[in-house]
Amino acid sequence: MRNTIIVTVLLFIAVIGASIYYFSDLNQDHKDAVKPLKFLPKETYLISSFKNDETTDNIFKDFEIFDALLGKKETDEIRKLKNILLRSAAIQPYTLNEEIFISLHPEDKEIKPVFIIPFSSDLKKEELSTLFSGLSKQFRVSKQDSLGKTIYAFDEGKKDTVLYVAYDHQIVFASYSKKLIGTILDDKVVKMDQHQIDFFIKHNSKNSPMSVYFDHRQINPIAKQLTNRKPGFYVNMFADLRGESAWNINYKNDALMLVGESEITNDSSYLAVFASQSKTDQTLYNYFPANTATYIEYSISDTASFGNKLMKFFEKKDDVKKYNNHIRNIESNTKLTYAKDIRKIWGSDFATTELDNGDLLGFVQIADSVSFSKTISKLSKELGDSIYQLDFSNTLYFAFGDAFKQFQRPYFTIIDKRTLVFANNQSNLQEYLRSWNAQRLLTGTLGFKNFEKLQGNKANVTFFLHSKNASGIIANSLASSYLKNYREKENFGFQDFYSWSIQLGGNNGSFLSSIYGIYKSKNALGGTPDWTYQFDGKLIGQPWVFEHSDTSKMILAQEQNHTIHAIHPKGTKLWSAVLSGRVIGSPIQLPDRSVVLVTDNRRLYRFDTSGKVHKGFSLGIPQQANDGPSVASFDNNMLLIPAGNTILAYDLEGKSLANWKNVDLDGELLFDIKTIQFKKHRLPHYFH
């Protein structure tokens, strides 16, 4: 799978955090933190430090996410070891106020942790032997010399539970891998460089209970180890950044949230193009279908800077000649000027999605609808049913770069007059249009609401993985040993994460970065329902809430067969009725509590809170509505409906206004009608 390893990396970051919590009790000044890290080998996957005091202990008490990622049996074992070893009266005086590190390392086909515990004062070899031998009667303690150092083995008598411990330079190194301990003690092994250590220490916040360091160069090695196939396009795109990231944890009981900075050392990578941008609103995710497995959305704050950086990117890929040939081909065949006519039709927000069946969709915001309408007909041909195909190969690649490398000469359709949707075959577009018309969208789920609420939509690059939709693709990609834990539900809780995401915001050549894992906690919105209401079919769009009486509300929801349901806030049915068509936009409620709405079958409705249709309704309207109705007050109240390039006006009884003069606009209206006060009158205010 193109994106599998990204979420796998996130999971292992979380595992580190969990391990640290159970093994650490300690806190330290950061000036002493460099020394332990100098022993770690260059091939270290991840490092994390943990500051533990009573407050932190209370924060992470009963943290469901740790059990979900580590496994319930494993966390019980870790708790036991923590109490026997670190909580022992003999060791605690030497480790008090010291910061503990956890690192992850490759070993054969496994990933093994190392626990690094600095001591506050040095111990002689004899003192250490006495100290370790007296820790617990549960362990049989033995020792052997290696590379001039002593390695202690704590054997509980169970398979694969021998803990190997070494003491060097006033630091305890502990691991279930004897080989790893030997690697750390071996001075001939290449270690992490000083720059990496300094970067981690610089961004290791004293105010955060946990910090994580990640070397971007380890993405591909981790991918090779965890999956049964070569790293895909998106994995390579993130790995190509190189550099390193350091994050601090923001605690929330239903989410893993890591926030920090990412330094990049490869300015020829595609994502580096966005490092000089500033975070801006991303909105295309509102168009993604409900069966989206992953998406990556990009946004630009400075189009001129993006264009310059993209050209440098093409230069380093030796694609400038291809780019120039592409431009000449378009200009000679269309009589358009690329910079003047074509570049300006593309917006600053674009994205690609991978669906649960592996199909790809692309999305591009339209910058100027008037220019787009004039230009796109010269760049494409219409195939019917609102589907078109670009005439020139790599049009999207040379406009946006690697984001659309997999879209050579795609088909496309236009949504809402402002968004282009691309696919590599017509059937995918037709299926998308069915989802869009039925409003089966990713944003219509409670889980996505939780994600959106926590992470926000300001960024330059957002990668999102929907755990359930991507589960089949992930399962087909993971190596068998990791697949077993991923699928196991009794001991592990990987299936209980709604989503994982990475977000990057440009920061003068580097990135502000964050990682979010949204967990299906019982306390989260949508975790455990207070009630359920059974529909015959799927819902169209989101429910609406209106006043039902002076003391109560009602919920309106429409399902695919066009039945609209009125539901009491306690989940009981009030009434239902079949409408002619799908509700367009949002209904409105008048002062008498009656509800007004318009459908895509050119019908205008008005009914009271008991479902009784108002006299004179429903009525037909002459044109298809573009959005829901609005109520306005001039001399009398009236209903305004955007339809095509004009506004339809009715009184509250459903009669057309005789003195209303329609004005045909140059373009179609896109939104509902707003009104503004102008001296003593209200005038309609609209956008098109």
Which residue carries 């049915």 as its tokens?
A: 573
Query: Could you tell me the CA-to-CA distances from 46 to 6, 105, 504 in Å, in that order?
Result: 14, 8, 19
Q: Which two tokens stand for residue 349?
A: 């927000």
In the chain the domains, ranked by start, together with CATH numbers, are: 35-192 (no CATH), 231-248+260-461+469-499 (no CATH), 544-651 (2.40.128.630)
153 burial via Cβ count (<10 Å: 0-12, 13-18, 19+)? middle
At 288-314, the pLDDT tens digits run: 999 999 999 999 999 999 999 999 999
Using CA atoms, how far apart are residues 682 and 673, in angstroms rounded to an integer?
Answer: 12
Question: Do 69 and 494 form a contact (C-beta atoms < 8 A)?
Answer: yes
At 340-372, the pLDDT tens digits run: 889 889 999 999 999 999 999 999 999 988 889
At 399-457, the pLDDT tens digits run: 999 999 999 999 999 998 899 999 999 999 999 999 998 888 999 876 788 788 888 88
Which residue carries 């009491």 as its tokens?
A: 568
**Selection from 64, 69, 130 nearest residue 492 by Cα:** 69
Task: Say which residue, 171 or 677, is predicted with more confidence.
Answer: 171
Dihedral in degrees, nearest 10, Cα atoms 628, 633, 634, 640: 10
Residue at 431: amino acid letter: E
Give the mean pLDDT of 29-39.
69
Lowest mean pLDDT among 228-232, 428-432, 557-561: 228-232
**Selection from 411, 461, 157 nearest residue 297 by Cα:** 461
511: left (phi over 0), alpha (psi -120 to 50) or beta: beta
Lowest mean pLDDT among 59-68, 188-197, 451-460: 59-68
Q: Is it the case that residue 15 has pLDDT exceeding 70?
A: no
Q: Which two tokens stand for residue 223?
A: 């991918």
Helices 4-23 and 72-84: angle between axes, nearest 10 degrees:
30
CA angle 458, 461, 467 (to 5 degrees): 95
Q: Categorize the per-residue pLDDT at 376 as very low, low, confident or very high, splitting at 50, 70 and 90.
A: very high
Using CA atoms, how far apart are residues 106 and 109, in angstroms rounded to an integer?
Answer: 7
**Selection from 466, 469, 375, 387 nearest residue 429 by Cα:** 387
Give the mean pLDDT of 247-259.
80
